[in-house]
Amino acid sequence: MSRVDLEHVSKRYAAVAALHDVSLSFRDGEFFGLLGPSGSGKTTLLRAIAGFVEPDEGSISFDGRRVENVPVHKRQIGMVFQNYALFPNLTVAANIAFGLSVRRVTGAEAGRQVSEMLELVRLTGLNERKPRELSGGQQQRVALARALVTRPKVLLLDEPLGALDRRLRQEMQVELKDIQRETGVTTIFVTHDQEEALTLSDRIAIIDQGRLMQMGQPREIYERPATIFAAQFLGDANIFTGKRENDVLILPGGERIHAPGTAATVVVRPEKMRVFAASRAVPDEASNRIEGHITQAVYSGASVTYHIRVAWRVDRPLLVFAQNLKGEVLTPETSVTVAWSPEHTVPVET
């Protein structure tokens, strides 16, 4: 397999900076997610690695060898697109074998390799079907097999599950991760789906307006976002800005919350908070507290999402995710205390 290194890569289209001084390393055999909103530059970055886009500045290396002048077909990559790009007139086996024929692998050897791929992606027995006779998930697996059959050093996935419905997408996330682990191929995939990035990735890079905002393991970025953008893009977040007084942040309503660091803005994830009716006692460890009123209680079976109005916070409500342990749901207009531990108060850059 292969290690991929990008050093100070930039790409402009007229006045728009699609990539701005991006440096990233993708480790041998890892599953790496590029996450960002539409137009953030993540697909441009993937296409630059593939060779479809030539950077204006910087370098791209595979195992220490620069590849800027190496054509696409010699980079030993496999690529899967969101629409799969299968040949509708060819069978499943012929679609998978296409890359082999380009490399002049034919006959019994091609048949053997196609059979191996069909088994890997769990499509044994469907080799004579046409793409139109397959489900969306099966078509996605054919595209994946076609990309893997040439034994690429790097597998590039551009929104590979975006065309599937939610349930099938969740099933394919598990299968895709299993296949990647079995093959050990270095995999870089683009997505705007937060859950998908958290589920699949060994590491994640969040990109916005062509810039690398934060990079690290999914849990690290989710639990300790560095910026407001990272906090809001990867999950839901309650953001507070106040006046700093040593380890205390004084909020606009006068509440004093314990917050580490020196930043005047902090983030608290909704599931880290607890909501208590005004008549109930609040545990001592939940020493950060804000009073408010419930405006909505959204019941989703496994959990309840509370929208809580705070008098001084007119721009948006607080969000609190409560696990459904007892089947109890507090009703709108209930006076409540929102409480959480200081350890879950994360300082961020604005």
* pLDDT (tens digit per residue) in 85-130: 888 999 999 999 887 877 777 778 888 888 998 998 889 989 899 9
The answer as to whether 231 is a domain residue is no
- In contact, 127 and 93? CB cutoff 8 Å: yes
Q: What's the N-to-C CA distance of the chain in angstroms? A: 39
DSSP 331: P
Task: Output the domain CATH number for residue 320.
Answer: 2.40.50.100
The answer as to whether 79 is a domain residue is yes
Q: Are residues 34 and 129 in the same domain?
A: yes
Q: Are residues 194 and 275 in the same domain?
A: no
Is a pLDDT exceeding 90 seen at residue 201? yes
pLDDT at 1: 61
Q: Please list, residue by residue across 39-54, b when 16 or more beta carbons sit within 10 angstroms of its beta carbon and e when fewer do.
A: ebbbbbbbbbbbbebe
| Nearest to 77, CA basis, from 180, 156, 184, 3 | 156
Is a pLDDT exceeding 80 seen at residue 225? yes
Instruction: Please state, in angstroms and rounded to a whole number, the distance separating the CA atoms of residues 10 and 54.
Output: 10
Q: Are residues 201 and 327 in the same domain?
A: no
Domain end point (choices 172, 199, 225): 225
Q: Are residues 189 and 303 in the same domain?
A: no
Q: Are residues 281 and 342 in the same domain?
A: yes
List the domain range (segments joined by +) for residue 322: 236-347
List, for residues 240-284, the tens digit of each pLDDT value: 999 999 999 999 999 999 998 899 999 999 999 999 998 788 887
Q: What is the pTM of this model?
A: 0.88
Q: Are residues 156 and 262 in the same domain?
A: no
Q: Please list, residue by residue across 154-178, b when 16 or more beta carbons sit within 10 angstroms of its beta carbon and e when fewer do.
A: bbbbbbbbbbbeeeebeebbeebbe
pLDDT at 337: 94
The total number of structural domains in the chain stands at 2
User: What is the percent of the chain with per-residue pLDDT over 90, rounded to a whole number?
Assistant: 64
- In contact, 303 and 323? CB cutoff 8 Å: yes
Q: Would you state the structure tokens that stand for residue 209, as one six-digit string?
A: 């307006």
C-alpha atoms less than 13 angstroms from C-alpha of 42 in its C-beta half-sphere: 25
Q: Would you state the structure tokens that stand for residue 217, as one six-digit string?
A: 């393991």
The answer as to whether 206 is a domain residue is yes
Task: Output the domain CATH number for residue 49.
Answer: 3.40.50.300
pLDDT at 268: 97
Q: Are residues 166 and 312 in the same domain?
A: no
Q: Are residues 90 and 194 in the same domain?
A: yes
Measured between alpha carbons, how far is residue 343 from residues 277, 301, 336 in Å? 23, 28, 22
Instruction: Please state, in angstroms and rounded to a whole number, the distance separating the CA atoms of residues 281 and 337.
Output: 9
Measured between alpha carbons, how far is residue 310 from residues 73, 236, 280 in Å? 58, 18, 19
Q: Are residues 273 and 218 in the same domain?
A: no
List, for residues 33-75, the tens digit of each pLDDT value: 999 998 899 999 999 999 999 999 999 999 999 998 899 988 9
Measured between alpha carbons, how far is residue 317 from residues 306, 321, 344 in Å? 9, 13, 19
Q: Are residues 66 and 143 in the same domain?
A: yes
Q: Are residues 317 and 192 in the same domain?
A: no
Q: Which residues have CB under 8 Å from 296's CB, separation 6+?
A: 305, 306, 307, 317, 332
Cα–chain-centroid distance for residue 235? Answer: 10
Q: Are residues 249 and 193 in the same domain?
A: no
Domain end point (choices 225, 245, 274): 225
The residue with tokens 């004093």 is 256
List, for residues 174-185, the tens digit of each pLDDT value: 888 988 999 999
Instruction: Please state, in angstroms and rounded to a whole number, the distance separating the CA atoms of residues 111 and 151.
Output: 15
